[in-house]
């Protein structure tokens, strides 16, 4: 009760400070609407952090959108996130993940994977890294990869007898989530964040044509590989799972596995065809969004998911949070907040660009910290900083691909659940096996330290290849 009371007090202090900011309007050059966007964003982020009165993340996000409507912003701008492909990839992908859990196909896949590898933490972790990397070559959607792998990891926890909420189950789920979304950053086609970066840079003067598959691979492959390895090692050390994985426990829990059902066969066929279509997208031109929607339609039509499960099968709190977060980019731009922030940030970045090691260290740290505010995988921040990237590319010789790699890595910051859309997704899917916030913070700290080390190790390589 005391902790709840403290959270509400801290939230009230932040609300008061934001109200003063919107009334006084102390930022020269920032228009009235920009002050409102800044103030209401601060209140929204405080709601995500402190969760006052148990208000869900979706309602906090909807507060920002409703407040901007009240103060005159157009509805098509405010709700732009709900029309983006990312949201309409997420919803059907969640139903696919639900089908994996409901039919037992996720457990069957987990059983097949675990029978190949020895029953120890190192081997199982290597399995997740290999599977996540392989899936990143098949589909660029981190959401799709996450909804495929997370139910499998949840079943692994059950098969090995790991207690819900324990350090062991937290590490199993978090390392699976991490390896499903992160290794794909090594490839331009391995994650949607890279595609967003490509789109932003292509529309920025001086950056068009600077990001290609080869330039991204040259800049990103080495640091992503180093960060992946360091993250899983440090994550294990920070969470310290003490319970050994038992082959006997695994065999006992899988001894009475039932024959494959018709619903499992349908789900497996839908998953297999979807993966093939993801992988061959450049030939047939069908988007990941369309593939996911049609996969969900087939699952409903085949009776794998019943009509009454539409409302209960997935987390609609997650869906509305995701849509509200995606809308923040348009709100920032329409209010003038993006342009104002770019003017403030540009001189600071230019002042440290002369020292490559210091530049990488500071930029990476700031972006990881900034993710507590920018929960939309740094999309507004990329838009704000794109002109700065163009100038540094021309004046200092810093490759846009290096910037893109740093953006992509920092966008996955996972100190707290609300700061990462895939941790919100994962927590909603695993339910009783969900991690505690302290466990996630320790894993997120491991990822942050691994990112700093990985980038600093890569600096000489970037310099030798003329990228920095």
Q: What mean pLDDT, rounded, does the chain reach?
A: 86
23 and 61 fall within a common domain? yes
Query: Are 64 and 324 a contacting pair, CB within 8 Å?
Result: yes
How far, in Å, CA of 51 to CA of 398, rounded? 40
68 and 148 fall within a common domain? no
127 and 265 fall within a common domain? yes
Half-sphere exposure of 89 toward its Cβ, with a 13 Å CA cutoff? Answer: 20
How far, in Å, CA of 447 to CA of 412, rounded? 9
| Look-up of token digits 């499903």 | 180
158 and 225 fall within a common domain? yes
Nearest-5° angle of CA 301, CA 306, CA 308? 135
113 and 64 fall within a common domain? no
The Cα-based distances of 209 to 378, 394, 463, 468 in angstroms read 21, 14, 21, 18
Q: What is the DSSP letter of 80?
A: G
The Cα-based distances of 426 to 36, 69, 202, 214, 404 in angstroms read 32, 31, 32, 32, 25
What pLDDT, on the 0 to 100 scale, is given for residue 352?
Answer: 83
Structure tokens at 420: 């990462």
Q: Which helix (H) or strand (E) holds 213?
A: helix 213-239
What pLDDT, on the 0 to 100 scale, is given for residue 407?
Answer: 93
In this predicted structure, the answer to whether residue 18 has a pLDDT above a threshold of 80 is yes
* Domain assignment present for 61: yes
What tens digit of pLDDT does each residue of 251-276 get?
777 766 678 899 999 999 998 898 78
* Domain assignment present for 136: yes
Structure tokens at 145: 């990869």
How far, in Å, CA of 202 to CA of 432, rounded? 44
458 vs 331, higher pLDDT: 458
65 and 119 fall within a common domain? no
Which of 284, 314, 344 corresponds to the end of one domain?
A: 314
Confidence of residue 47 (pLDDT cuts 50, 70, 90): confident
46 and 122 fall within a common domain? no
Query: Are 124 and 117 a contacting pair, CB within 8 Å?
Result: yes
What pLDDT, on the 0 to 100 scale, is given for residue 247?
Answer: 79
140 and 180 fall within a common domain? yes
In this predicted structure, the answer to whether residue 432 has a pLDDT above a threshold of 60 is yes
Total structural domains within the chain? 2
What pLDDT, on the 0 to 100 scale, is given for residue 140?
Answer: 62
- Region of 215 please: left (phi>0), alpha (psi -120 to 50) or beta: alpha
* Domain assignment present for 4: yes
In this predicted structure, the answer to whether residue 320 has a pLDDT above a threshold of 70 is yes
* Domain assignment present for 327: no
Cα radius of gyration rounded to whole Å, the chain:
22
Helix 262-279 / helix 85-103 crossing angle, nearest 10 deg: 150
280 and 242 fall within a common domain? yes
229 and 277 fall within a common domain? yes
* Domain assignment present for 400: no
In this predicted structure, the answer to whether residue 1 has a pLDDT above a threshold of 60 is no
Count the Cβ atoms, other than its own, within 10 Å of residue 105.
24
Which residue range(s) make up the domain with 219?
Answer: 83-192+213-314
Q: Average pLDDT in the 18-27 region? A: 95
Confidence of residue 300 (pLDDT cuts 50, 70, 90): very high
1 and 71 fall within a common domain? yes
* Domain assignment present for 290: yes
Structure tokens at 136: 């990143």
Confidence of residue 413 (pLDDT cuts 50, 70, 90): very high
In this predicted structure, the answer to whether residue 417 has a pLDDT above a threshold of 80 is yes
* Domain assignment present for 42: yes
Give the closest residue to 380 by CA, choosing from 162, 81, 155. Answer: 81
How far, in Å, CA of 206 to CA of 21, rounded? 35
What pLDDT, on the 0 to 100 scale, is given for residue 203?
Answer: 66
Give the closest residue to 316 by CA, choosing from 419, 463, 424, 220. Answer: 424
Query: SS3 for 191?
Result: coil
């Amino acid at each position: 009760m005391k902790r709840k009371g403290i959270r509400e007090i801290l939230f009230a202090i932040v609300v008061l400070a934001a109200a003063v900011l919107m009334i006084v309007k102390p930022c020269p050059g920032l228009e009235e609407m920009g002050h409102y966007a800044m103030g209401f964003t601060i209140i929204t982020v405080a709601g995500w952090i402190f969760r006052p009165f148990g208000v869900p993340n979706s309602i906090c996000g909807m507060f920002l959108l409703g407040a901007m409507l009240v103060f005159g912003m157009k509805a098509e701008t405010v709700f732009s996130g709900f029309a983006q492909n990312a949201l309409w990839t997420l919803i059907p992908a969640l139903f696919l993940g639900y089908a994996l859990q409901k039919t037992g196909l996720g457990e069957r896949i987990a059983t097949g994977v675990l029978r190949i590898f020895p029953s120890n933490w190192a081997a199982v972790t290597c399995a997740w890294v290999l599977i996540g990397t392989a899936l990143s070559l098949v589909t660029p959607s981190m959401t799709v990869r996450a909804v495929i792998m997370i139910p499998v990891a949840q079943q692994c926890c059950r098969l090995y007898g790991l207690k819900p909420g324990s350090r062991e189950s937290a590490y199993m789920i978090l390392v699976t989530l991490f390896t499903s979304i992160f290794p794909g950053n090594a490839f331009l086609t391995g994650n949607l964040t890279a595609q967003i970066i490509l789109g932003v840079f292509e529309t920025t003067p001086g950056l068009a044509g600077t990001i290609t598959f080869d330039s991204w691979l040259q800049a990103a492959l080495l640091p992503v590989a180093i960060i992946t390895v360091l993250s899983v090692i440090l994550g294990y050390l920070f969470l310290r799972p003490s319970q050994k994985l038992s082959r006997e426990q695994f065999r006992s829990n899988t001894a009475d596995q039932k024959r494959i059902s018709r619903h499992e066969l349908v789900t497996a066929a839908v998953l297999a065809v979807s993966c093939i279509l993801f992988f061959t997208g450049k030939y047939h031109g069908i988007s990941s969004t369309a593939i996911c929607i049609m996969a969900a339609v087939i699952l409903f039509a085949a009776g794998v998911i019943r009509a009454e499960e539409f409302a209960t099968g997935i987390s609609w709190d997650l869906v509305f949070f995701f849509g509200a977060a995606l809308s923040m980019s348009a709100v920032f731009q329409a209010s003038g907040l993006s342009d104002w922030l770019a003017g403030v940030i540009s001189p600071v970045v230019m002042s440290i660009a002369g020292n490559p090691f210091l530049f990488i260290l500071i930029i990476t740290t700031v972006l990881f910290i900034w993710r507590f505010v920018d929960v939309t995988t740094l999309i507004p921040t990329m838009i704000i900083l794109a002109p700065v990237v163009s100038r540094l590319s021309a004046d200092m010789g810093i490759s846009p691909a290096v910037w893109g790699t740093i953006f992509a890595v920092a966008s996955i910051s996972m100190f707290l659940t609300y700061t990462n859309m895939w941790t919100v997704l994962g927590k909603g899917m695993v339910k009783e096996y969900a991690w505690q916030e302290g466990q996630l913070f320790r894993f997120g700290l491991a990822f942050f330290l691994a990112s700093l080390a990985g980038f600093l190790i890569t600096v000489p390589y970037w310099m030798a290849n003329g990228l920095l």
